[in-house]
Amino acid sequence: MLVTRRSAIATGAAATLIGMASPVRALTPTSDQELGPFYPVQHLADTDADLTHVQGLAGTANGTAINVVGRVLDIKGNPVSGARIEIWQANAGGRYRHSGDMNNKVPIDPNFQGYAILRTDRSGNFKFRTIKPGAYQIPDGRWRTPHIHFDVSGHNERMVTQMYFPGEKLNETDFIFATAASKPSVISRLDNALSGDPNTPAYGWDIVLVNG
């Protein structure tokens, strides 16, 4: 088992909570995941929470629209208000809006924003609308399962991770998903009741920081 400073802190925090006179069950911290090669060094000026439209264009992104709804919490379950969240992802065909993505068989979708900056509210909530990303093959022949990248900055901690989708067959063989210390912590749940839109599927996912 890979032990990092972050996981050691989490273990210590959990032990402290268990030893309290009135025990509080510590949450499982969301597992770190690698940044990946396609962090958007350049992106559109439009960085709002609707990735299915690009400001100034009339079109809509290709693919299945989804809502992602969740919270940022600390290990005790307290909400982390004002957390900054950067998200980026491939389009429905599995291509990033990034100069390093050489998958020329899949075109860039001009109507897909591909990147956003969010802030959690006072209760730690966040929500964004996007397209379910496609799987893609990397140059060595391996496949990446559908996922969304997150870079989360709380009050005391920054974490880079990736959110995965339930029931994806490629989850079983994805080499980055396999490195998660807690695989359930990086898999979202299908929960259409969260959507607020009966025509759009919703995925719920809470991000747990050790120190908030």
Average pLDDT, the chain: 89
Length reported for the chain: 212
Give the Å distances, CA to CA, from 144 to 115, 138, 172, 185: 19, 7, 10, 18
The fraction of the chain above a pLDDT of 70, given in percent, is 89
165 with 203: CB under 8 angstroms?
A: yes
Superfamily of segment(s) 30-209: Aromatic compound dioxygenase (2.60.130.10)
Tell me the Ramachandran region of residue 141: left when phi exceeds 0, alpha when psi lies from -120 to 50, beta otherwise. Answer: left
Kindly state the average pLDDT of the residues 134-152: 96
pTM higher than 0.85 for the full model? yes
63 with 56: CB under 8 angstroms?
A: no
Catalytic residue ranges:
96, 136, 144, 147, 149
Kindly state the average pLDDT of the residues 146-164: 98
Question: How much is the pLDDT for 24?
Answer: 57
Instruction: List Cβ neighbours of 201 (8 Å cut-off, separation of 6 or more).
Output: 64, 66, 67, 190, 192, 195
